[in-house]
Chain A
Amino acid sequence: MPPRVVVTPGAAEVIRRLKAEQGKLIFHQSGGCCEGTAPMCFRQRDFRVGARDVLLGVIEGCPFYVGGAEYQYWEYFQLTIDVTSGGGDSFSLEAADGMRFVTRSRMFSDEEAKELDAAGPPPRGPEAFRPASAGVH
């Protein structure tokens, strides 16, 4: 089954560095002005996941959530998280170092969409993310 969210090697390296510096991280994407529709990377303790937020997947051991209301538009797209230089002032952790995570999307093929539909909708809420074990982050 195709993952709903994947990460490029460049972005993965940035995430690993941020994790080493800041501890456990979480990604959340919604919308809105200025630099909305871009993934926000926070320390897990700095962002409370809502009951409606959808856990799209896990990248480099970090949960990737999207806003509950926005999910309906992304349901049939695979999100690829990449990183670029210079993306606008942001509360996202990587921005202070002059980088910015960006989201690219690819529409799932009909077969992929069928597989995903058969598997049922992704889980929602803060309890949806359960790290497999303490060592795997």
Chain B
Amino acid sequence: MPNDQPQISAITPAKLRKRYDNFIGGKWVAPVKGRYFTDPSPIDGQVLAEVARSSAEDVELALDAAHAARDAWGRTAPAERARLLNRIADRIEENLELLAHTETIDNGKPIRETRAADIPLGADHFRYFAGCIRAEEGSLGELDNDTVAYHFKEPMGVVGQIIPWNFPFLMAAWKMAPALACGNCVVIKPASDTPLSLAVLMDLIADVLPPGVLNVVNGHGSEVGAPLASNPRIAKIAFTGETTTGRQIMQYASENLIPMTLELGGKSPNIFFADVMAEDDAFFDKALEGFALFAFNKGEVCTCPSRALVQESIFDKFLEKAVARVGKIKVGNPLDPTTMMGAQASRGQLEKILNYVKIGKEEGARCAIGGEQAHLGGGLENGFYMKPTVFVGHNKMRIFQEEIFGPVLSVTKFKDLDDAIAIGNDTLYGLGAGVWSRNGTTAYRVGREIQAGRVWTNCYHMYPAHAAFGGYKQSGFGRETHKIIMEHYQQTKNLLVSYSPKAMGFF
């Protein structure tokens, strides 16, 4: 296969390479075993590039490079590290269109979203952590007249990071920015489905970081992710993905006694109180958009508001308007800037979604809109498109409990505040939630009672830096996108210093 290069799709930007290796020690390095896989686009099924199908040997090379760079990077002044992270952000912003286009053709998400959200948020995360590391301080305590405890924050060393395919660029930024800011060297594995935006970024920033500080190993979970997570040469592993794999990663981490952060999934409730319909105003319009936000990123979001809980007294009227709003969602070619919802990321994902639609119908849920594949002509017949779908049912149905990871919303009703909380919390997961109410006390009380790490209040799907993000329950642990993540990428050194010249008197 390496000598017989596939036909590259016409939607691939000219700047992309036809083949991507691994980025190790500041340059592109071919995989040791010389194997590659093809990366097709979910837009039309055509090949975008060939990518290294790496193995454990390549992970070792990346770790060699990372360890060689480790001490110098760890000793680099925070201001210098911040300067380089800001330069990375500059390069991202200067190349916004290229990165947005690449992300869209690799993942299938609409260009309108990659231009406005994914890429700019990614750049901002580098700037945020550049600021955080400059403002960081340790502490000291004067224990007695002769004794002082100094607390320093030190890098972990070399860390491993495994990224999912749903926000390839942004999830890489979320992980890399704090790790690098804290003085760690990184070996990162992007999802094999969506390796391109990170690969393009490495070409854009190849001259910015010292060689070996940031290394990218491409390949599949079983062939690269497992050897990375179980490697004794990493000091920490970070993973975003599904639950069983999260357990496996924890088992690997336990072999080497290393810490980890995990972000696993959700079945986030979006809760609409009756008072949202008290006025037919901008806020009510915003609430209707909030309902439709299950379709953002084609539903392939860990925090997809995939359950809507609507107060009984407004249920029928609200649902009528909300479903009409869903009906206006334009599914189409993700490269069209008017497209609101793009292609599902792969055939397997589309099949899984259709499976759940079938299950929902079998369980007796009522399909209010959608409920089938979207067949788009015009060259997109081999893409993976779905119609936004809304089911009405009850919270014990499988479509209310299992993460479908597609544009499928399950709606149910609740009586009052206590009922909303009970239904909202009746889930294995605890990643996100949305609460909509004009009454600040209602919103506050519900927000505090919902067992989820992120409660959007009168909004949804906003991911600014400096707001902590992470799960309760089966959604994982650790908080990202806020300076508290830095505690997971540092260790505390206590220098316990005695200024007394006298022996203690023990021996």
Contacts and interface: CB of A to CB of B under 8 A. Distances in A.
Interface of A: 28-38, 40, 42, 46-48, 50, 67, 69-70, 73-74, 77, 84-93, 95-96, 98, 100, 102-105, 107
Given A67-B244, A89-B221, 12 more contacts: A32-B264, A33-B266, A35-B405, A36-B243, A36-B265, A46-B248, A86-B348, A88-B349, A89-B165, A91-B245, A96-B219, A103-B355
Contacts of A90: 220-222, 245
A85 B243 contact: no
Contacts of B194: 89
A82 B481 CA distance: 38
A86 B164 contact: no
A36 B429 CA distance: 13
Given A31-B402, A102-B355, A85 B220 contact: no
B242 A36 contact: yes
Interface in B191-230: 191-194, 219-223, 225-226
8 contacts: A31-B429, A33-B241, A34-B164, A67-B244, A73-B398, A84-B351, A90-B245, A96-B220
Contacts of A35: 241-242, 348-349, 405
A67 B164 contact: no
A48 B302 CA distance: 25
Contacts of B219: 96
B193 A88 contact: yes
Interface residues of B, number: 54
B12 to A, nearest CB: 18
B342 interface: no
Closest 7 CB pairs of A and B: A87-B348, A32-B265, A36-B242, A91-B221, A33-B265, A32-B243, A32-B242
A47 B251 contact: yes
B166 interface: yes
Contacts, number: 159
Interface string B53-96: 10000000000000000000000000000000000000000000
B166 A42 contact: no
Nearest to B262: A32
Most buried by B among A38, A50, A93: A38
A32 B246 contact: yes
B425 interface: no
Given A32-B265, A34-B405, A73-B401, A89 B359 contact: no
A95 B242 contact: no
Given A32-B265, A87-B346, A104-B355, A92 B302 contact: no
Contact of B405 (A36, A73, A103): A36
Contacts of B428: 31, 69-70
Contacts of A28: 244
Given A70-B428, A87-B347, A30 B244 contact: yes
Interface in B237-272: 240-248, 251, 263-266
